[in-house]
Structure 1
């Protein structure tokens, strides 16, 4: 009962954070004004104002996108850590982020960017999918997919693509600033097209992960125990990896690389609700949404009208917290 109450409270806090986020930015809007504008929009009364355009065309899409990104990265991180039995596993461990960054870099270098769900997003998504296929084929041994080989292949591909990005920036210095900003993560180009693109992916795959919570619980104990209890470890592993890769590819393609979310949020959730994936996955999803919404709000509100990269804010919070976890683990 306590966990359920805490979970419902966390959902309420997330909605409140979203409301506060709507009011903050270069154009200051009070919570009362924001609520009034939202109600007027819902019931269809009143004329379109500048504040209404700011809320519904700029801030609301990025808040929804931030929540979806937080959900996707956190759920994937929780699943990966259970699947690989490795607390260092995170959504980017298979080289998806570097593949997406390389695709986006090529789009920026050749000036293929466009508004909305443009070519940069598409190239980033294709680059992420390419890196997944490359890592998968390198790591695959017959019909099996050894976890250690998979992680090492992901690290190798990550370094390979990162070096290609660095070379591209040196050869095209005029595009360096845009490439760096994209790789640090941002929601400044959030749109309803992007939400329509990733919302079904994040929601459906998160639900599939939740439906496999028993298998994840068993696999976290060990492959031999899983086999004894009738769980096909290789089949579950491939399913989780493929679905996770698709989810992370879609997320990175619209938001850039937002670090530490999929690494620290599952850790924090595990400290509160335990290691049972039945509770861990939904709790990580809500906490991840809250964390990314707060970080995005800070990125807009700290130095207006200038906007900081969201990935820099998440890393600013995430890195010290992760160091604290390691220090606590060492002392324990």
Structure 2
């Protein structure tokens, strides 16, 4: 009887010892912790790292304590949103085998944003749970629509066609969103900065509502890690290894959509986090999703926290929203990926 051996997801790249990967993950966590301390320290009123640490022990003046306390929910929200968007991008890239997949580039964030604005303007939705729900539905509809458009013509859903379809549909979504908002001054004022993408309005109530939803989405993505490794071998090989290709794609895509929709509902459409971080993580640890996903979550959180800190520092006493900073980082990386990989499949 012939035994079919499942190929290792690391077969195409030099294998890295598990100890070195674990050490890298710990180092990434230390970097994230350091960035979180910087996020608590820097702002309109800077606080020394010593005072930040003293606040944790309750041994600092009231002014410093107030400044640090106000920044804690903002930092926590940046960690959650960064990890969610990065995981969503990693899952999209694995499911579509598309190196250009990203919630922003493929129009998924734009669909979620449009759904939120329509819900506010026409249906009077105001509760956070309602907005998160419509955002997830909008993200799912946008994902299906972009994939359908990108699949038209010869060759099916190639990476380049999906990227072009996503860019065109994202522009259309943004135009419709602006058209809905412009005549409605009350909604426009409330969501003027939300459209750009940011974490400045973080509160513990918002975090408490969105965190469980993001946790469910992340759990779905992590549970499909092994299946996504099989998809990287090609549909025929994956099916031959006993993988239910359609089910794996559906479940992983559901997790990606939940993460993207919930993150967009709370922080607005933030692009390029889901593009940059998964590529960096695959360079660090290889293509094994069981390692890529934890690294992606940690480094995605680190990137968004860093972008938030940079946005606060370079325009003091004003702020630049993280959506602008991540776009400045991600656009050159997007161009590099297109030129370097010639948009081949993963």
Query: Which TM-score tier does this pair reach, normalised by the shorter chain?
Result: 0.7 to 0.9
Stretches of structure 2 that go unaligned for 5 or more consecutive residues are 1-18, 149-155
Cα distance in 1 between the residues matched to 2:192 and 2:302: 25
**Aligned 8 A contact 2:104 2:270 in 1:** no
Cα distance in 2 between the residues matched to 1:148 and 1:105: 29
- 1:102-141 alignment runs, 5 A limit: 102-106=114-118, 119=126, 121=128, 124-132=131-139, 134-135=141-142
**Cα 1:11–1:134, aligned 2, differ >3 Å: closer, same or farther?**
closer
Aligned to 2:309: 297
**Cα 1:230–1:10, aligned 2, differ >3 Å: closer, same or farther?**
same
Query: What is the TM-score normalised by the length of structure 1?
Result: 0.83
Q: Does 1:329 align with 2:336?
A: no
**Aligned 8 A contact 2:214 2:258 in 1:** no
- 1:159-238 alignment runs, 5 A limit: 159-172=171-184, 179-238=191-250
Aligned to 1:32: 50
Cα distance in 1 between the residues matched to 2:147 and 2:103: 19
Cα distance in 1 between the residues matched to 2:278 and 2:243: 23
SS at the partner of 2:57? helix
Aligned to 1:53: 66
Q: Which moved more, 1:13-22 or 1:318-327?
A: 318-327
Q: In structure 2, which of residues 85, 88, 92 is the aligned counterpart of residue 76 of structure 1?
A: 88
Aligned to 2:10: none
Aligned to 2:251: 239
Q: Which moved more, 1:320-329 or 1:155-164?
A: 155-164
SS at the partner of 1:119? coil
| Per-residue deviation, 1:239 | 0.9
Query: What is the TM-score normalised by the length of structure 2?
Result: 0.80
**Aligned 8 A contact 1:104 1:121 in 2:** no
| Per-residue deviation, 1:125 | 2.5
Cα distance in 2 between the residues matched to 1:234 and 1:110: 36
| Per-residue deviation, 1:60 | 0.7
Q: In structure 1, which of residues 296, 306, 320 is the aligned counterpart of residue 332 of structure 2?
A: 320
**Cα 1:111–1:138, aligned 2, differ >3 Å: closer, same or farther?**
closer
Aligned to 1:23: 41
Cα distance in 1 between the residues matched to 2:118 and 2:262: 17
Aligned to 1:283: 295
**Cα 1:51–1:215, aligned 2, differ >3 Å: closer, same or farther?**
same
Cα distance in 1 between the residues matched to 2:53 and 2:102: 37
Aligned to 1:43: none
**Greater share of helix residues, 1 or 2?**
1
Cα distance in 1 between the residues matched to 2:309 and 2:167: 32
| Per-residue deviation, 1:29 | 0.6
Stretches of structure 1 that go unaligned for 5 or more consecutive residues are 41-45, 113-117, 142-146
**Cα 1:19–1:135, aligned 2, differ >3 Å: closer, same or farther?**
closer
**Aligned 8 A contact 2:77 2:202 in 1:** yes
Q: In structure 2, which of residues 28, 32, 35 is the aligned counterpart of residue 14 of structure 1?
A: 32
| Per-residue deviation, 1:91 | 2.5
Count of equivalent residues: 315
Q: Could you give the per-residue CA deviations for residues 117-163 of structure 1, whole angstroms, max 9, x where no partner exists? A: x928556424423324535776899xxxxx83995986776455333
**Aligned 8 A contact 2:105 2:272 in 1:** no
Aligned to 2:3: none
Cα distance in 1 between the residues matched to 2:289 and 2:209: 27
